[in-house]
Amino acid sequence: MSARRLLYAWLMVVLEGHTALAASYFVSTAGSDSAGGTSATPWRTLQHAADVVGPGDSVTVRAGNYAGFYLDTSGTDVAPIEFLADPGVLINQRNATTADGINLEGASYVVIDGFSITGMPRAGVRSVGFPDDFAEFVTVRNVTATNNGNWGIFTGHVNDLLIESNTTSGSVNEHGIYVSNSGDRPIIRNNVSFGNRSNGIHMNGDASQGGDGIISGALVSGNRIYNNGTGGGSGINMDGVQNSRIENNLLYNNHASGISLYMIDGGGGSSGNVVVNNTIIEASDARWALNIQSGSTNNTVCNNILLNNHPTHGAIDISPDSLPGFTSDYNAVISKFTKDDSSSILSLAQWQAATSNDLHSFAATASQLFVSPATNDFHLKAGALAINAGTSSLAPFADIDGTLRPANGVFDIGAYEFGALAGDFNRDGSLDAADYVEWRNSLGTTVTRYSGADGDGSGVVDLADYARWRANFGDGALGFGVGVDPAAVPEPSSATLITLLFAFLRGICSRSTRFQFGR
């Protein structure tokens, strides 16, 4: 056996030994709840699985239609509970306890992955803690929630939440994703939210519901949000959200506001936030691209595209009590601003003179920026005014596609970086052996998000980053891989894989929450 195969075999033994104490259960439409719950003898219902599982257990659900489930059991930081759906799993009946598909009631350290959920009276997935006992470390990923009564995904009183790579659409009354009730440090990334009556993503501190009424330390990144808001709201709505980052989001054809920072029920204004490298194109019946109200001070806005198809509404609507500490610059905008809720409209030049903001910003149109706005392709086109027009200050080190910034030495404006290459770890405009060396030399290290060879933003340089580089080897200066001999692509050596294994084993020993939950 080769050294590499021996190493892989050893890794599998380690993994099997590590998971020996946890149970792996299975559910199938052909199963029985009186069976053993194994792959060969699966259970029939999700609820039976939820009644049985404990810390460290996983439940794999085979394709078919199911009623939902109610879970009030928690995992632990070293042994989460996981419900994992195979392709073709659909929850089309509510659980027997609440009006939701999947309901996590006071449950922490739980992973929900891969389910499709449709037609629930209230929420597709609901996860809640309590005002005096927050839930924590709940992950909802790869869920498709369609045509549910109020929300695709709803959470309340949950700290350290991760909502990623979900699709939420057609919420009849309210929002695609709703994060509420003072839960801190939520990550909402790489989701698609469209066709919801109100907000694509809504975040509300909800002071009236207990807690401090503030959501802090949030990251809202890489989301694609469109065709929402016929009933009001925003593409991204933030009530009482503070000291958070809103970056790399694409919002288009939303019918209310684009991004809103304000306070109604929050414990304070949405202050101290960074709104950076977003692309917003408002519909012809929409409000303003960026809406900042009710004492939401000390916000920073840079590297954004803020366009609007409404005949009188424009880029930024900010109230006088939100202006203290407000900083805005290096944006591509429609030349319409207001400080008094549209009573008077300022051109870009008038706005610059009145506020001393946006001195490096410029007016632009969709046709001057995008590949094909008519077909909703909002990548920057060759020669776009936004290329190399941004600032490095506070900019994310990758774009909405996960490709590294800057591509040509200077950051672009908007959610997309022109000419960026996945795996160009040294940012020289081509994918070659030098990027492999960069990856190899930093393998297993923890880095600042999207820096160095961390090509996928996981915070750790690992094999996933190598795979990103290898898949695009030869791009850029070498002609996008045309004619590249696969044999010329370096493979990790056995020594490199051993390094990775020991890094993995250290992760197993520590079992940090970052490792377990992908934060």
Residue 42, preceding peptide bond in cis (omega within 30° of 0): no
Q: Is 130 exposed, middle or buried (0-12, 13-18, 19+ CB in 10 A)?
A: middle
Record the tokens describing residue 234, joined without a space: 């925003």
What angle in degrees, to the nearest 10, is found between the helix axes of 463-471 and 433-442? 180
pLDDT in tens, 445-496: 877 656 677 776 667 888 888 877 777 775 543 333 333 444 555 666 666 6
State the sign of the Cα–Cα–Cα–Cα dihedral 347, 350, 351, 356: positive
Closest C-alpha among 311, 342, 346 to residue 328: 346
Q: Is 486 exposed, middle or buried (0-12, 13-18, 19+ CB in 10 A)?
A: exposed
pLDDT in tens, 340-390: 988 999 999 999 999 999 999 999 999 999 999 999 999 999 999 999 999
Alpha helix positions (H), 272-429: 348-355
**What is the model's pTM?**
0.85
The label of the residue with tokens 């109230």 reads: 319
* pLDDT of 203 higher than 90: yes
Record the tokens describing residue 257, joined without a space: 């506001």
Helix (H) or strand (E) holding 513: helix 513-517
CA pair distance 220, 518, nearest whole angstrom: 15
pLDDT in tens, 100-110: 999 999 999 99
pLDDT of residue 502: 60
Domain ranges in the chain are 433-517
